[in-house]
Chains A and B, each alone.
Chain A
């Protein structure tokens, strides 16, 4: 039962990342990121149940509040403050993005073999899903022009890393997990402040406008 639910969560986790590559409207991307946050929370909760660990349950609740609650809310606020940035402007069209996504998922399974081989439990077999989401996050950050879609790319990378951490090890130590979450929150605050300043300095936050500094 737990295994099936875990597989479901992992599937949802990967699908929401691919959905982020597929959709263009920023509000849809934020909704997908919320879904992904929920899927990640699901993974963390199921692992906590599996390990009968109170510590892991605390971490799971924290992850849920942060990734499915606070971060999407912050992103919506950024979006509200930057009018005229309703859509991302992909440099690569949707069908090419999907092909790239498929290739990246295959690459992730190849790269994560040592992690799976060393599996302390069956859950580690799902770890490549996390690696795939990291790679998809890179792809997104590299091929979208709006500042806010780069933030979403960075968040995808982070979600993917968190998923790898949970699946491969049953959760990293609590101290580290708390530090990571605090840092992530701060990073998003930084990005939020910066997008506002970017908007004040450059107008619309199209990253092609960033041309002040070069050699």
Chain B
């Protein structure tokens, strides 16, 4: 079957929405598997679009539009979602066995996850920057319910902080959007087209630099909050550690990158108006601050889910560093980093979810000596940590080297040195904590709740690790897509 570009544009929205509808009607097991199918459809649509737009062309249908960057982001969303939804099937089955969920809660979970996927797909498919904003805001609302899903004191608190901080952040981003709109209208655009990215990108000449400078600051601050960049990161460790594990995987693995996608789109326009210096300075400060926060808090971390959350801040710091450099090599490495981090973090969070269920605790000291008790789970989780540490054969190794090399050749040696010094601290902290979890001497007291680990629940984790390792060995046809996507961000300047 061949997928036409128009179908491939609508499929990433239609599939999860249909799956959400089906979740409300069908049995839970069937609905959970339908969710996996919907995630796979997003991946397939991304691949189909990639086949048409990898030469730098566009595909259009109504409000939707795809270029190479869109196709790449759809592949990221689809790949991470497939792992998270597959792990979600087992997550729900385990909760069912343990009797800690109700049918209504499980149904709500399935519907919300699919709506979350649809909102992220809309964000990357929208041509209009206003619609992009609406979609990112929609992800905040849907995930707020998912973070508070368990209704414990901790998860309600996390959801509250998440909604308040992110809706304020996203409000600032809207103010930036309004400023861009005002600049475009003053430059002669009309109505809805004034916020179309393709229109703005083609007509940067008439935009007022002062207003765009104001807009850039607001947009970076606003979407930076959603992307978990310091100093606006305070919500992230709470939300990512309290959400159900597959949702943490999605929030950490793709939602942060979708927020960064918005920054890339704006950067392409603002760099053409202002030159790259302004956005670069802001992003460099945010990158170093994020890396510093992550490194310091990883050292003293005692909770392995929060440890993974701080590792996300670290990786977003690296993405910000590469985005600040902004050369073709840097952006290509950043995009590869986003995919590699998405896969690695999805496996790590889903594995951590299993671990929390088996041990009844998210404290690192409570799970010491995991390799002796659950060797398969310890293997999957350990390899995911190795991937997140940036060691070969996983793709984060290549992308981190790419980001460093691009920074050095762009004359940002001091920033690269500082950043990778902090990465080294984070590396040591993560490696020490990971080793304590996997190999440390087990507690003499047996764990409180000892559930059973089903081999099938490891399958999605193995798939994710295999994909991350394959990417590290060879990019294959993805290379052309990455190249075209980087051109979209860097532009012709």
A residues apposed to B, CB below 8 Å: 111, 113-115, 117-118, 120, 124, 131, 134, 138, 141, 147, 150, 154, 157-158, 161, 164-165, 168-170, 172-176, 179-180, 182-183, 186-187, 190-191, 193-194, 197-198, 200-202, 210, 212-213, 215
Contact = CB atoms under 8 A, between A and B. Distances in A.
Interface in B152-178: 152-154, 156-161, 163-164, 167-168, 171, 174-175, 177-178
B130 A179 contact: yes
26 contacts: A113-B210, A114-B179, A115-B179, A118-B186, A124-B182, A154-B171, A169-B182, A169-B185, A173-B130, A173-B195, A175-B130, A176-B192, A179-B134, A183-B137, A183-B138, A186-B141, A187-B167, A190-B145, A194-B144, A194-B156, A194-B159, A197-B148, A198-B156, A201-B152, A201-B156, A213-B241
B128 interface: yes
Contacts of A215: 237, 297, 300-301, 306
B175 A161 contact: yes
Interface of B: 63, 128, 130-131, 133-134, 137-138, 140-141, 144-145, 148, 151-154, 156-161, 163-164, 167-168, 171, 174-175, 177-179, 181-183, 185-186, 191-192, 194-195, 208, 210-211, 213-214, 237-238, 241-242, 297, 300-301, 306
Contacts of B191: 173
Contacts of A141: 164, 168
Given A173-B194, A186-B141, A213 B156 contact: no
Contact of B164 (A120, A154, A158, A172): A154
Q: State the 3 A-B residue pairs at the shortest beta-carbon distance, nearest first.
A: A176-B130, A179-B134, A114-B210
A52 to B, nearest CB: 15
B134 A176 contact: yes
A202 B141 contact: no
Nearest to B193: A173
A154 B167 contact: yes
Nearest to A124: B182
A154 to B, nearest CB: 6
Contacts, number: 150
B68 to A, nearest CB: 25
The dominant DSSP class at the B interface is helix
Contacts of A175: 63, 128, 130-131, 192
B65 to A, nearest CB: 14
A191 B210 contact: no
Contacts of A124: 182
Nearest to A190: B144
Given A176-B128, A215-B301, A161 B164 contact: no
A210 B144 CA distance: 17
Given A118-B208, A141-B168, A197-B151, A172 B156 contact: no
A200 B138 CA distance: 26
Nearest to B158: A213
Contacts of A118: 182-183, 186, 208, 210-211
